Amino acid sequence: MTQMQPSVLVVEDEPAQREVLVYNLEREGFRVIKAGDGNEAVLLVDEERPDLVLLDWMLPGVSGIEICRQIKMKPSLRQTPVIMLSARSEEVDKVRGLETGADDYVVKPYSLAELLARVKTQLRRTRPASVGEHLTYDDIMLDSGTHRVYRSKQELKLGPTEFRLLTTLMEKPGRVWSREQLLDRVWGRDVYVDTRTVDVHVGRLRKALKCTGADDPIRTVRGAGYALG
Ligand code: CA
């Protein structure tokens, strides 16, 4: 399974509540990682680099607030959206939650529909293609719902790997991706593929993008990898 599927880390110590969340998130197409306490959560955030964290406030061991603070203090994790879940409904707690850097705050008992909508709102910002948004860059338009790509309104023919590569690059224009990062994201972490394979597919993608006679928008960053623009 590739990392194109957005991943959510669920941190919840009540097994029944955790399983309800896991079941519903998987049904929505998310890859779900779960943790039952704070220490496990801290390890998994680092190891798995989830696209979003659903974080219960009251946990044995390290509290949700403390985990949130740790995530938001690390430059490599800071962009990861965190939604705090809490039985506490006092306004002061909500403020405290958001002050720690949580991106959103949901009070228990919550409606699953509302929670899923909030998850998608966060991902629309950080992983727009994964929630079916159109991506645009210059004259390139990528429709993640229909898997079609257009350049200056002309449809391009892309293979599935080139499509996933372009999606990844278009979600973060300007970001430099190393070959290893692209392998993880586009091919999946458990697949053994030589990093040269990345070069081959970037080459194919470039060729497809240039077929309209337009410029090559992909930049090779020597010793680092590839970036869009
Ligand atoms: Ca709890």
Expressed in angstroms and rounded, the spacing between residue 62 Cα and the centre of ligand 1 is 11
Supply the range of the domain harboring residue 169.
Answer: 132-228
Instruction: Mark whether 13 and 103 lie in a shared domain.
Output: yes
Expressed in angstroms and rounded, the spacing between residue 77 Cα and the centre of ligand 1 is 23
> Taking the CA atoms of the chain, what radius of gyration do you get in angstroms?
19
Expressed in angstroms and rounded, the spacing between residue 28 Cα and the centre of ligand 1 is 24
Instruction: Choose one of 128, 143, 175: the last residue of a domain.
Output: 128
pLDDT digits (tens, 9 = 90+) for 125-153: 999 888 888 999 999 999 988 899 999 98
Phi then psi dihedrals of residue 62, to 5 deg: -75, 130
Report the mean per-residue pLDDT for the chain.
91
SS3 7: strand
In a domain, 152, yes or no: yes
Instruction: Mark whether 93 and 139 lie in a shared domain.
Output: no
The Cα 124–Cα 135 span in angstroms is 11
Instruction: Mark whether 124 and 15 lie in a shared domain.
Output: yes
What is the spatial order of strands in the sheet that 134-137 belongs to?
A: 134-137, 140-143, 148-151, 154-156
Inter-residue contact 213 to 152 (CB < 8 Å): no
Instruction: Mark whether 85 and 192 lie in a shared domain.
Output: no
Mean per-residue pLDDT for 77-87? 92
In a domain, 212, yes or no: yes
Instruction: Choose one of 102, 128, 154: the last residue of a domain.
Output: 128
Q: Pick the closest to residue 184 from 125, 225, 135 (CA basis).
A: 225
Mean per-residue pLDDT for 23-36? 95
Expressed in angstroms and rounded, the spacing between residue 17 Cα and the centre of ligand 1 is 9
pTM above 0.85, yes or no: no
The Cα 124–Cα 119 span in angstroms is 9
pLDDT digits (tens, 9 = 90+) for 178-197: 999 999 889 987 778 898 99
Expressed in angstroms and rounded, the spacing between residue 14 Cα and the centre of ligand 1 is 6
Instruction: Mark whether 95 and 204 lie in a shared domain.
Output: no
Inter-residue contact 156 to 209 (CB < 8 Å): yes
Strand partners, 45: none
Expressed in angstroms and rounded, the spacing between residue 78 Cα and the centre of ligand 1 is 23
DSSP string, 87-153: S---HHHHHHHHHTT-SEEEESS--HHHHHHHHHHHHHHHSGGGGT-EEEETTEEEETTTTEEEETT
Instruction: Mark whether 176 and 197 lie in a shared domain.
Output: yes
Instruction: Mark whether 99 and 156 lie in a shared domain.
Output: no
Expressed in angstroms and rounded, the spacing between residue 143 Cα and the centre of ligand 1 is 39
The DSSP element (H or E) to which 202 belongs, if any, is helix 195-210
Expressed in angstroms and rounded, the spacing between residue 124 Cα and the centre of ligand 1 is 27
Domain count, the chain: 2
Strand partners, 6: none
In a domain, 157, yes or no: yes
Instruction: Choose one of 83, 113, 128: the last residue of a domain.
Output: 128
Question: How confident is the model at residue 99, as a pLDDT?
Answer: 80
Instruction: Mark whether 116 and 177 lie in a shared domain.
Output: no
Q: How many other CB atoms sit within 10 Å of the CB of residue 81?
A: 22
In a domain, 1, yes or no: no
In a domain, 199, yes or no: yes
Expressed in angstroms and rounded, the spacing between residue 131 Cα and the centre of ligand 1 is 28
Question: How confident is the model at residue 1, as a pLDDT?
Answer: 43
What is the residue type of 155?
E
CATH of the domain at 39: 3.40.50.2300
Q: How many other CB atoms sit within 10 Å of the CB of residue 9?
A: 24
